[in-house]
Amino acid sequence: MRKAVSWSILAYLCFGAFMYWYLFYGTSGAIPAEFKGTSADPATFMNSRELLLSQEYSRTKYLLFFLSTPFEWLVLLLLLVLGISRRFEASAEAVTKLKVGQAAIYMFYLSLLTTVLALPFKWIGYQVSKSYNISTQTTGSWIKDLVTDYWVNFAITLLVVTVLMWLIRKSQKRWWLYAWALSVPFTLFLTFIQPVIIDPLYNDFTPLKNKQLEQKILSMAERANIPAEHVYEVDMSAKTNALNAYVTGIGANSRIVLWDTTLNQLKEPEILFIMAHEMAHYVYKHIYWGVASYIVLSFVGLYLISRLVNAMLTRWRGALQIPSIQSLSAVPLIFLISSVLSFAVSPAENYVSRMEERAADQYAIAMTKNNDAAVETFQDLSKTSLSQVNPPALVKLFLYTHPTILERIDYLDGKK
């Protein structure tokens, strides 16, 4: 146990030191010489202060990501080897004999502890966003969102864990297959209800006040065969200065949504380009492809989780303090393996997403026929979010679901 704890902490500290060096000293963030003076050069649309802030903010944000993700793994591992997970289970069993009740008590302890331990990263991220004027959210509102997020995640996780443990008790060999079969309708259900039930828990959605703009957007939607009667705006300016818009949901629950920051900060041609881009995702059925790929990946993932859990219990059952896979104390191990696998596959997922975003850009250009507005849109997105135009390779690999601003503007310049 002492070896596991010591080596895990040392590995985390070494990884954190490497990422700090890589982000702040190992890479410059400068654009290639051939792009100097072009519309992709941030020096042409940012002043010296904005350039400095974008470098500082981006690096800090990236570092927080690369520190928080393995920190989650470290916490889950320590919960196992220090016997905390086992004690949570024993405490739940002492309260009730009902399996559902035990799962609820255990998951409350587990989720509360992991949330508290992860809180410093979230708080630092919030404070950094505030200091760089990205976030405009009050502390009270931030805490409210944190609490809402906790209970939404707790309810979903409790349901998943309860069903999962029931399946494991029924079949230790094929539980992963049954879990995958049940995850398919569950994933579709969450995708369907998110726009109308989950999203409104965090923000207020109202019909777009600018009816002239709404009519233009709906006209574009009609050309794209999107069944929409309204365009919604959401009051994000109370929380952030960042820009966004999206088309979400499936079937009758599809929604076209604009952040009010986008409405307030961009000109109409830029807004129309963004909406054309978002409509492309609907036209190309990227939501459906995303759900389908998740279903396929979850099949492979659950199979690998089952094999890895069994292998680790065979070799390190005593060190991990897990009596059997049927025990609730095995939940952190399942979460740990799932998180590591998800991180490992994220570069491939991000690559596919970047291809979809490139296709959406092409669709938007074809629909709006306004390259200048598109270039200005990406320049404004970079300025308002203080994002690097040319991020480091590891950042792009693990974080970028969209092409970089440099790539997007370079593509548009080539279309002129």
Q: Which residues form the catalytic set?
A: 278, 361
Closest CA to 134 of 66, 53, 204, 65: 53
> Is 357 assigned to a binding site?
yes
Helices 139-170 and 99-131: angle between axes, nearest 10 degrees: 150
In angstroms, what CA-CA distances link 49 with 55, 63, 133, 224, 374? 10, 21, 13, 41, 24
Q: 3-state DSSP call for residue 234?
A: strand
Half-sphere exposure of 360 (CA within 13 A, CB side): 26
Report the C-alpha gap between 266 and 381 in whole angstroms: 10
> Is 277 assigned to a binding site?
yes
Answer yes or no: are the C-beta atoms of 287 and 191 closer than 8 Å.
Answer: yes
Closest CA to 214 of 268, 168, 160: 268
Tokens of 61: 């944000």
Closest CA to 3 of 77, 71, 76: 77
Q: What is the DSSP letter of 259?
A: E
Q: Which residues belong to the annotated binding site?
A: 277, 281, 357
Q: Which residues belong to the annotated binding site for Zn(2+)?
A: 277, 281, 357
